[in-house]
Amino acid sequence: QQRPMSIVSERKFTDNHWYDVTGERFGSHGQLTVVDSTGKDVFLGTHDAETSGQSILDLSEENSVFLIGGVPSSIALKNPFP
């Protein structure tokens, strides 16, 4: 079974400021960048997916949910990963 790739920041971004969040995936390599309003990088995280066929980010419009910042408590996922 394929597992999701995660990039997690220890920093909390709950300070009422705007941030630009960019997620990129090239093959099995993922990168998440957070930039503040002055253009300064405040977080850069990377992760390499396991080699079990996870080389393409192919999201289905009908079956995929793509969330940044976690899942709100009011949302119930149909098939959450363990």
Three-state secondary structure of 13-50? CCCCCCCEEEEEEECCEEEEEEECCCCCEEEEEEEECC
3-21 average pLDDT score: 81
According to the model, what pLDDT value does residue 1 have? 45
Closest CA to 69 of 22, 27, 8: 8
pLDDT confidence of residue 56:
62
Query: Which of 76 and 1 is assigned the larger pLDDT?
Result: 76
What average pLDDT does the structure give for the chain?
A: 76
Report which of residues 1 and 30 the model is more confident about.
30
Instruction: Dump pLDDT digits (tens) for 33-73.
Output: 999 989 999 988 888 776 665 556 667 777 776 666 666 77
Q: Do the beta carbons of residue 77 and residue 71 sit within 8 Å?
A: yes
